Structure 1
Amino acid sequence: MNYILSLKEVFGNGEEETAHIDAGRMGNAARFANHSCSPNAKLYPVRVENDIARIALFALRFIEPGEEITYDYGSAESTLSDRKCHCGSRNCRLFMPSDD
């Protein structure tokens, strides 16, 4: 199982910072959120009283009880990999995002 999340932030001054988070051995339930091309949540970095970003998922719409929480693993700039996407969305891009 792979629980690695790569987060690239671009700040107002153009500076970029990339963090790689491995939740394979430790993490909360958010590590089980899956990809969808039509997600019901969005991932944001959040800083609370320190410089180290924490990852937060915010709902994009009302999420029904028992409904899977999903977010888009890519971004508007993402290229597509050769790995097929099985999210089932009507807007499915057919392949998973891939950011180098």
Structure 2
Amino acid sequence: MLWLLSLEPIPRGSFVCEYAGEVLGFAEAQRRIQAQAPQEPNYIIAVREHLHDGRVMETFVDPTRVGNVGRFLNHSCEPNLLMVPVRVDSMVPKLALFAATDIPAGEELSYDYSGRFQNVAGASREHEPLEEENSLRKPCYCGSRSCASFLPWDSSLFSTPASSP
């Protein structure tokens, strides 16, 4: 497992890096996820933004082939980075990572893959996975006091479309 460490202190609120990669549609993100073997790393991130009118805008980013250092950031249930979708001259957001706390030199940089970290108060944890989903889940090794034992689970990319009548 790789770790990204801060080389110097990073003040809270500082921009750290972008989670860059190919922007995919749902069908292609689902195809790539389902084509992976269980032991392969999954770098695809699904960002869901809830709009004021009730709609949900989804952005899928895959840095596997075209990416940057952001793809090597590990998950933590108590991370020191916060991901924020930022728009610059486009409706497609850039996924910016900012320091959520003052980060000392030499500390591992991490973020919550679920996107719940420092989000709305009382945000519920993910649903309990079905037994067949447990075989697809990857263990969490963050070691935090509030570790969930597994990486966040997004079953939508593993589901198959309902058969049409």
Pick one of 54, 71, 74 that aligns with 1:31. Answer: 71
User: Offset at 1:9?
Assistant: 0.9
Q: Of Structure 1 and Structure 2, which has the larger fraction of its residues in helix? A: 2
Scaled by the length of structure 1, the TM-score of the pair is: 0.87
Between structure 1 and structure 2, the one with the greater Rg is: 2
Q: Can you give the 5+ residue segments of structure 2 that lack an aligned partner in the other structure?
A: 1-40, 117-122, 156-165
Check whether the contact 1:40–1:71 (CA below 8 A) recurs between aligned residues: yes
- Corresponding letter in the other structure for 2:127: T
Aligned length: 100
Pick one of 50, 65, 68 that aligns with 2:108. Answer: 68
Scaled by the length of structure 2, the TM-score of the pair is: 0.55
C-alpha change, 1:32 and 1:80, in structure 2 (3 Å) is: farther
C-alpha change, 1:34 and 1:99, in structure 2 (3 Å) is: same
Q: Of Structure 1 and Structure 2, which has the larger fraction of its residues in strand? A: 1
User: Offset at 1:68?
Assistant: 1.6
Q: 1:5-84, aligned counterparts within 5 Å?
A: 5-74=45-114, 75=116, 76-77=123-124, 78-79=126-127, 82=134, 83-84=138-139
Partner of 2:37 in structure 1? none
Instruction: After the TM superposition, list the runs of 4 or more consecutive aligned residues in structure 1 that deviate by more than 6 angstroms.
Output: none
